[in-house]
Amino acid sequence: MVKIVNKPVTLAKFLQQPEVKPACEYIAGQIIQKPMPKGKHSTLQGELVSTINGTLKLQNIAWAFPELRCTFGDRSIVPDIAIFVWDRIPSDDDGEISNTFAIAPDWAIEILSPDQSHTRVTKNILHCLKHGTQMGWLLYPHEKTVLVYRPKQEIEVFDDPEALIPVPIFAQEIQITVRELFACLHKKVQ
């Protein structure tokens, strides 16, 4: 994790800056750059976006966006995957998806990279829950573990390969076990 600015800056000034890669987040007056995704992270992110959109987007239920800036509650964060229920997806006057998402996602998924702060990612998920997010997942690729966060509930740990990972109510059509989630990390010989 790289801090970009040491002295406090306003959210408005942060949002005026050009985007960089990897993305920067605005948290408590500080600009913090996310680490560059590596192989396991990118693989899980791509597979989950595809799985979620392959089920929910096709039915106009919800849409999963990778690395989407969400600005709300005096923070501007970039969850690894931000999922929005269809009717809450911001759109322009012409009906196209807006470039600005000034709301919390309905479901936030973070994938912990080896050099990423567990505390910062957890705080982002908790911030989302405080502002209306129905569920947050924190994936630990190296441990094959998923932490599930829900508003005002204890964190649940899923590391049994056969355990079905809970999803928000709107996503009930997605049924995935811990084993199935992390199976994409194995190269399959064809």
pLDDT tens across 115-125, in order?
A: 888 999 999 99
- pLDDT score at 187: 84
For each of the domains in the chain, give its residue range(s) and CATH number, in order of start: 36-185 (3.90.1570.10)
**pLDDT, tens digit (0-9, with 9 covering 90-100), for 51-67:** 999 999 999 999 999 99
pLDDT category at 30 given cuts 50, 70, 90 is very high
Average pLDDT over residues 22-32: 93
The Cα 103–Cα 46 span in angstroms is: 23
The Cα 160–Cα 82 span in angstroms is: 25
- pLDDT score at 5: 46
Q: Count other C-beta atoms under 10 Å from residue 65's C-beta.
A: 19
34 Cβ contact list (under 8 Å, min separation 6): 1, 22, 23, 24, 25, 78, 116
